[in-house]
Amino acid sequence: EDQVTQSPEALRLQEGESSSLNCSYTVSGLRGLFWYRQDPGKGPEFLFTLYSAGEEKEKERLKATLTKKESFLHITAPKPEDSATYLCAVSAGGTSYGKLTFGQGTILTVHP
């Protein structure tokens, strides 16, 4: 059974204080790892896809990296508008359909 565990559950940062969110996964044949951002009362918003170990993607203050067992979402000099829940999901092999298995998310709060 595919499993995704995110840590920490909640993270509070001061504006400008860089940190990382972790996503550990156990799957049989990783096909893709996805990061989403979710604001209160909204649907998840796609951020990044990573397909193979060593791959990195960047967008503004966010950088996602991938190893064979985990992914990190690095946040550099965060701003209050980066406050949100960050979700990690994996898609595994075995079927032709990319079903997503999600972690529980990390609630990020950035204080001014």
Partner 1 sequence: NAGVTQTPKFQVLKTGQSMTLQCAQDMNHEYMSWYRQDPGMGLRLIHYSVGAGITDQGEVPNGYNVSRSTTEDFPLRLLSAAPSQTSVYFCASQTRGYTEAFFGQGTRLTVV
The number of residues that bind partner 1 (CB under 8 A) is 25
Q: How far is the CB of 14 from partner 1 (least distance, A)?
A: 27
Q: Closer to partner 1 at the Cβ: 72 or 102?
A: 102
Q: Closer to partner 1 at the Cβ: 8 or 98?
A: 98
Site for partner 1 in 71-90 (CB under 8 A): 87, 89
Q: How far is the CB of 65 from partner 1 (least distance, A)?
A: 17
Tell how strand 100-102 and strand 10-14 pair up: unpaired
- Integer CA distances (angstroms), 10 to 1, 78, 93, 104, in order: 26, 15, 30, 11
Q: Characterize 15-54 residue by residue with b for buried, 16 or more Cβ atoms within 10 angstroms of its Cβ, and e for exposed.
A: eeeeeebebebebeebebbbbbbeeeeeebeebbebeeee
- Return the closest-CA partner of residue 55 out of 34, 27, 41: 34
Q: How far is the CB of 27 from partner 1 (least distance, A)?
A: 11
Site for partner 1 in 24-63 (CB under 8 A): 31-32, 34, 41-46, 49, 51
Tokens of 53: 């170990």
Interface ranges with partner 1 (CB under 8 A)? 4, 31-32, 34, 41-46, 49, 51, 87, 89, 91, 96-105
